[in-house]
Amino acid sequence: MSKLSHILSPLKIKSMELPNRVVMPPMGTNLGNADGTVSAENIAYLKRRAKGQPGLIITEITGVHPDGIVSPNQLAAYDDRFIPGLRQMAEVAHEAGCMIALQIHHSGRESLYMLGKGKAVAPSAIPSIVFRATPREMTIAEIKEVVAAFGSAARRAREAGFDAVEIHCAHGYLLTQFLSALSNQRTDEYGGTTLKERSRFVLEVIEEIRRQVGPDYPISIRISAEEFIKGGYSVDDMQTILPDMVKAGADIIHASFGTHGSPGGITQAPAEYVPGFNAWLARKVKDVVDVPVIAVGRFTDPSCADEVIARGDADLVAFGRQFLSDPDFLIKAKAGRPEDIRLCIACNQGCIEREMLGEGNIRCSINPETGQESIYPEGPAAKSKNIWVVGAGPAGLTAAAEASRLGHKVTLFEKNNILGGQIRYAQVPPHKEIYGEWIDWQIGQVRKSKVEIKNDTEVTESLLREGKPDYVILATGGQKVIPPVAGIDQPFVCDAWQILDGRVAPKENVVIIGGALIGMETADFLSEKGVKVTVVEMLKRSPVLKITSHGYMLHKRLREKNCDMLFGAEVKAIGDGSVDVDLAGEKKTIAPVDQVIIAAGMKPTDKLKGVLSNLEIPFTIVGDAHKCRRILEATEEGARAAWALG
């Protein structure tokens, strides 16, 4: 507790009294109703986060204008009909002792939905960096209309019982578009060659909100303190207008960074960025204003955040994805149980990529409760059953932990001596150590539960007959795919798993067969050691998407290490010191080659399926044993299998 004295201290900002300096910042959930109203799922999600006792919760983006939303189910505040649902959100936070601010937002050109309808507007008719489509330039009348809309939305927030309002002026949305020379090339009073000249729209929004909410109501503004994009503004530029924002009525500066078009997905920083990496920007903001500043940047550890506040770099700290992976992290820290905190691994699979790729609403790869709060069973189960979980990778460990939590008698079987499954290999490449830390945490939680763990034990028909489980959850994972290539049985051919676990030493000139995540990360691992790597992938484009934060960083590192990437290529034969490849219909010989590494992927292993069917033992297949995919699918399927036990 003494080590957290700064972050746990109260803070009064006008009419709002915060019990501590921990902020849950805005994160999109995709949980809203189809008409933009608050859903039961929104309330359940918010209630679970509020239970973790942050000082301030800032809601996800809430639309101020019907033409400025990113999807029909984005929460909205552009009409009084939205007030009842918003009031429910405020009440849930207050019941838990938290303060809550409504973040109000206009997408401008950064809305595929509005671009598709031909209704997207922006300062200038310049294409979106993200979506490559062109918006319509706003007229002066439309600018005034949106300014008024921000003010009215803020007034509704106050009427709904919110303690503050936050203006979204970050990440490339409309207000940032007016600030940036990359998107604002107007020649009227809302344009200009300097950031100070282009700030007029933003200042008018702040002033209008202040006019409608009154003098004592706190106004926060979330800014991209620096654009982090070629030709964009710097934090030194931003310092010239921050005092003007405060003078216009801003009481809090929420110092975020980057835009959705910034390279590397920096706004959703992957594990390559250390926790708290962005605190220096908050310090630069504090240098020119006297209002509280919120620091942002992959914070996971309350002790780290406490140090930031102690140094005077910021007054509050935002823990975004950490509230998804473990909403109780602050409670655990205060209780002196930091080892029980489920630290965010910054994989972005459930919180960013799921929504970006159109896969559905919010999830967390390592916390299956997130986004499923309304169906998450508190337990205990009506009847305790004898449950066997076969396989101790992410799916099996999650299934065992959840089934035990619900009161079932659980036995976890693993045929190998070490628990963790494929994560034991995934943790080896650069910047992936945190995956190993998570799986060790998950194993630790299972060991603390009443689960009986049996290592070095392969489940057989005779074992099943003898043990007579009530139900079996098959999480046996996948097996390596070996492509039918001539010469693949030569002694200098191995697989990626043998390289990553150190059983086989890497050579100087390597060809990797397979350019999906296993192949790419193995190439990353070898390139760090100075190995000359050529990756051969049959698909014409990389299966590792560059639009994801980790994918971008992975491709970038491999380019910098001069790794050759051959897409649309098929290995035809492995010779003595060479590899023959069919590249777009033409033969290409790669030489010299000292080593060939197979990374052609995985296929499910479910050989117990027939045995269980014959024995009439009910079962569910989860994770890679069902279909080889990400951690996200493995943990969710493992959890749902446990929840369905009744």
Residue-range domain boundaries for the chain: 2-348, 386-480+604-643, 493-600
**Average pLDDT score over residue span 62-72:** 97
Query: Which residue is listed with tokens 């189809």?
Result: 34
Residues labelled catalytic: 173
Phi, psi for residue 554 in degrees, rounded to 5? -65, -50
pLDDT at residue 1, as a whole number: 44
Q: Give the pLDDT band of residue 606 (cuts 50, 70, 90).
A: confident
Q: Count other C-beta atoms under 10 Å from residue 247's C-beta.
A: 12
**Average pLDDT score over residue span 348-376:** 95
Q: Give the pLDDT band of residue 545 (cuts 50, 70, 90).
A: very high
pLDDT surpasses 50 at 187:
yes
**pLDDT by residue (tens digit) across 26-36?**
999 999 999 99
Exposure b/e, 468-490, CB count within 10 A at least 16 = b: ebebbbbbbbbeeeeeebebeee
**Average pLDDT score over residue span 9-38:** 98
pLDDT at residue 2, as a whole number: 55
Domains 386-480+604-643 and 493-600 fall in the same CATH topology = no
pLDDT surpasses 80 at 265:
no
Q: Where are the beta strands (DSSP E) in 311-419?
A: 316-318, 386-390, 409-413
Of 54, 25, 29, the C-alpha closest to 40 is: 29
Q: Where does 2-348 sit in CATH, by number?
A: 3.20.20.70
Instruction: Tell me the average pLDDT of the chain.
Output: 96
**Average pLDDT score over residue span 51-74:** 98
Contact present, 216 and 15 (Cβ < 8 Å): yes
pLDDT at residue 498, as a whole number: 98
**pLDDT by residue (tens digit) across 504-524?**
999 999 999 999 999 999 999
The residue type of 241 is I
The residue type of 637 is E
pLDDT surpasses 70 at 384:
yes
Q: Where does 386-480+604-643 sit in CATH, by number?
A: 3.40.50.720
Assign 555 to helix, strand or coil: helix
Assign 123 to helix, strand or coil: coil
Percent over 90 (pLDDT), the chain: 96
Q: Give the pLDDT band of residue 297 (cuts 50, 70, 90).
A: very high
pLDDT at residue 268, as a whole number: 85
What is d(CA 179, CA 187) in angstroms, rounded to the nearest whole number? 14
Q: Where does 493-600 sit in CATH, by number?
A: 3.50.50.60
**pLDDT by residue (tens digit) across 224-239?**
999 999 999 999 999 9
pLDDT at residue 262, as a whole number: 84
Asked if residue 592 has a cis previous peptide bond (ω within 30° of 0), the answer is yes
**Average pLDDT score over residue span 256-274:** 86
What is d(CA 145, CA 151) in angstroms, rounded to the nearest whole number? 10
What is d(CA 522, CA 503) in angstroms, rounded to the nearest whole number? 14
Of 359, 440, 387, the C-alpha closest to 633 is: 359
**Average pLDDT score over residue span 60-84:** 98
Contact present, 337 and 315 (Cβ < 8 Å): no
pLDDT at residue 441, as a whole number: 98
pLDDT at residue 67, as a whole number: 97
**Average pLDDT score over residue span 517-543:** 97
Contact present, 218 and 16 (Cβ < 8 Å): yes
**pLDDT by residue (tens digit) across 321-339?**
999 999 999 999 999 999 9
Query: Which residue is listed with tokens 């630290």?
Result: 343
Per DSSP bridges, beta strands 386-390 and 409-413 are parallel
**pLDDT by residue (tens digit) across 485-501?**
999 999 999 999 999 99
Strand partners, 567: 537
Asked if residue 380 has a cis previous peptide bond (ω within 30° of 0), the answer is yes
Could you tell me which residues come within 8 angstroms of residue 332 by beta carbon, excluding any fewer than 6 positions away? 326, 338, 340, 341
pLDDT surpasses 90 at 3:
no
